[in-house]
């Protein structure tokens, strides 16, 4: 059996062999020596890769912020955006072997509805979410000292929010139709009206009050949300007394909870700060979508996940910089400027 087919069968075991065989001409196998810079920050994101063996360092502004190992993906942005730039540089750490797709190859898989494309989107989403969560946990540890925990007599953040009742329930006529919100998304705007309508029909509108917890940290909630009206905060509990870290604020049009379909527990709570409406889609409704609509939504999910990962990485870098100025004697040595410039070009099969 072709070694490339064996490698793809191992990495994408859920994909039928016939689909894998059809994709073989589209892949390149790339090997690199240690310290070789494969991709550079700021350059066009013109390829995606599965890591078949070895490991890679991920660098932002010359500093290593993480490591990608066998079984993971890199260059995820190439799966959904043809004109994006690299967020980070990638450097060989432990002699990697990569299975690479160019933008043209990705477009070919998508145009021919090859199951490999959907499998790669799902794999990349899971990886992006895991990396973002890991960075957010470290960030919370660094920032916990900046947030005062409630006193022992406090009722807790979420219980206080629950007691904040709105003056009435939103009128259903005020709920913006989801199709209009979807059409404003850059990835969905390029799809057909039929695809957007199919996605919109999979969602269910739901009214909420100010103070209502739309999704709770630690629970398994197989729903994704599109905020239609109102506002919400994304909060992570960081201690047993109910102290919380504000991760972000959500405005109309935002897509949140995209990690719901990964099967993992919620890593944060979504708490409404004003009355409004949200559209929700369950995993079961998503799986019933026509293939074109399902692929389009997976691309949106990956885009949101990658943005979350990039934001967490940037916030962590900033927090580490502040931490380092206060604790210089405890900080390990970082990569030196110019280190990422060493190495050789890619070696293709």
> Which CATH number is 232's domain given?
2.60.120.10
Task: Sort 31 into a burial class: Cβ within 10 Å, 0-12 / 13-18 / 19+.
Answer: middle
Non-local (6+) Cβ contacts of 337 within 8 A are 62
Same domain, residue pair 154 and 85:
no
Does pTM top 0.85 for this prediction? Answer: no
Please tell me the least confidently modeled range out of 52-66, 72-86, 259-273, 315-329. 315-329
Q: Is 194 part of a structural domain of the chain? A: yes
pLDDT in tens, 291-304: 999 999 999 999 98
Rounded CA-CA distance 216/26 in Å is 42
Closest CA to 131 of 260, 259, 318: 259
Same domain, residue pair 51 and 114:
yes
> Percent of the chain at pLDDT above 70?
80
pLDDT in the model for residue 307: 87
Angle at 119 between CA 113 and CA 120, to 5 degrees: 100
Q: Is 288 part of a structural domain of the chain? A: yes
Rounded CA-CA distance 315/138 in Å is 10
Q: How many domains does the chain have?
A: 2
Is the per-residue pLDDT at 199 higher than 80? Answer: yes
Same domain, residue pair 96 and 208:
no
pLDDT in the model for residue 343: 40
Same domain, residue pair 125 and 255:
no
Contact indicator for 88, 65 with CB cutoff of 8 Å: yes
Rounded CA-CA distance 51/11 in Å is 9
Please give the DSSP secondary-structure letter assigned to residue 289.
S
Q: Is 341 part of a structural domain of the chain? A: yes
Rounded CA-CA distance 8/21 in Å is 9
**DSSP assignments along 53-91, one per residue:** EEEEEEEETTEEEEEEETT-EE-GGGGT-SS-B-SSEEE
pLDDT in the model for residue 338: 46
Residues facing residue 92 across a β-bridge: 56
Same domain, residue pair 168 and 125:
no
Same domain, residue pair 213 and 302:
yes
Is the per-residue pLDDT at 173 higher than 80? Answer: no
Rounded CA-CA distance 107/110 in Å is 5
Contact indicator for 346, 30 with CB cutoff of 8 Å: yes
Task: Sort 142 into a burial class: Cβ within 10 Å, 0-12 / 13-18 / 19+.
Answer: middle
Same domain, residue pair 114 and 17:
yes
Pick the more confident residue, 185 or 155.
185
Q: Is 135 part of a structural domain of the chain? A: no
Q: Is 16 part of a structural domain of the chain? A: yes
Rounded CA-CA distance 279/226 in Å is 5
> Percent of the chain at pLDDT above 90?
46
Same domain, residue pair 169 and 289:
yes
Same domain, residue pair 53 and 154:
no
Q: Give the mean model confidence (pLDDT) for residues 209-221.
A: 88
Same domain, residue pair 110 and 228:
no
Q: For residue 267, name the pLDDT band (cuts at 50, 70, 90).
A: confident
Percent helix, strand and coil across the chain, each rounded to 5? Answer: 40, 25, 30
pLDDT in tens, 81-94: 878 899 899 999 99
Contact indicator for 269, 135 with CB cutoff of 8 Å: no
Q: Give the mean model confidence (pLDDT) for residues 307-322.
A: 79
Rounded CA-CA distance 228/281 in Å is 13
Q: Give the mean model confidence (pLDDT) for residues 247-253.
A: 86
Rounded CA-CA distance 77/103 in Å is 10
Same domain, residue pair 156 and 106:
no
With H, G, I as helix, E, B as strand and everything else as coil, classify residue 40. Answer: coil
Contact indicator for 277, 229 with CB cutoff of 8 Å: yes
pLDDT in the model for residue 65: 82
Is the per-residue pLDDT at 227 higher than 60? Answer: yes
Question: Domain range spanning residue 102?
Answer: 3-129+335-348
Is the per-residue pLDDT at 166 higher than 80? Answer: no
Same domain, residue pair 144 and 267:
yes
Residues facing residue 217 across a β-bridge: none
Please tell me the least confidently modeled range out of 111-125, 211-225, 276-290. 211-225
């Amino acid at each position: 059996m072709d070694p490339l087919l064996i490698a793809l069968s191992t990495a994408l075991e859920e994909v039928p062999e016939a689909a894998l065989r059809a994709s073989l001409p589209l892949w390149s196998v790339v090997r690199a020596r240690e310290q070789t810079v494969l991709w550079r920050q700021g350059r066009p994101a013109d390829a995606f890769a599965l890591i078949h063996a070895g490991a890679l360092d991920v660098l932002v502004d010359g500093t290593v912020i993480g490591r990608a190992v066998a079984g993971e993906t890199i260059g995820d942005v190439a799966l959904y955006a043809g004109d994006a730039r690299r967020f980070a540089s990638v450097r060989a750490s432990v002699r990697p072997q990569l299975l690479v797709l160019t933008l043209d190859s990705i477009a070919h898989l998508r145009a021919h509805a090859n199951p490999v494309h959907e499998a790669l989107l799902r794999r990349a989403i899971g990886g992006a979410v895991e990396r973002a969560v890991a960075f957010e946990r470290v960030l919370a540890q660094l920032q916990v000292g900046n947030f005062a925990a409630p006193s022992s007599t406090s009722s807790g953040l979420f219980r206080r929010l629950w007691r904040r009742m709105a003056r009435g329930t939103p009128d259903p006529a005020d709920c913006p139709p989801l199709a209009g919100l979807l059409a404003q998304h850059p990835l969905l705007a390029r799809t057909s009206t039929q695809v957007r309508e199919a996605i919109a029909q999979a969602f269910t509108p739901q009214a909420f009050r100010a103070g209502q917890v739309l999704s709770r940290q630690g629970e398994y909630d197989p729903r994704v949300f599109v905020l239609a009206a109102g506002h919400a905060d994304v909060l992570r509990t960081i201690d047993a007394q109910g102290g919380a870290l504000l991760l972000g604020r959500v405005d109309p049009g935002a897509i949140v909870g995209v990690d719901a379909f990964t099967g993992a527990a919620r890593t944060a709570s979504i708490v409404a700060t004003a009355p409004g409406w949200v559209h929700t889609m369950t995993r079961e409704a998503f799986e019933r979508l026509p293939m074109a609509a399902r692929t389009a939504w997976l691309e949106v999910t990956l885009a949101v996940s990658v943005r979350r990962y990039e934001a967490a990485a940037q916030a962590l870098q900033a927090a580490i910089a502040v931490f380092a100025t206060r604790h210089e004697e405890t900080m390990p040595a970082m990569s030196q400027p110019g280190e990422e410039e060493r190495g050789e070009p890619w070696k293709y099969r």
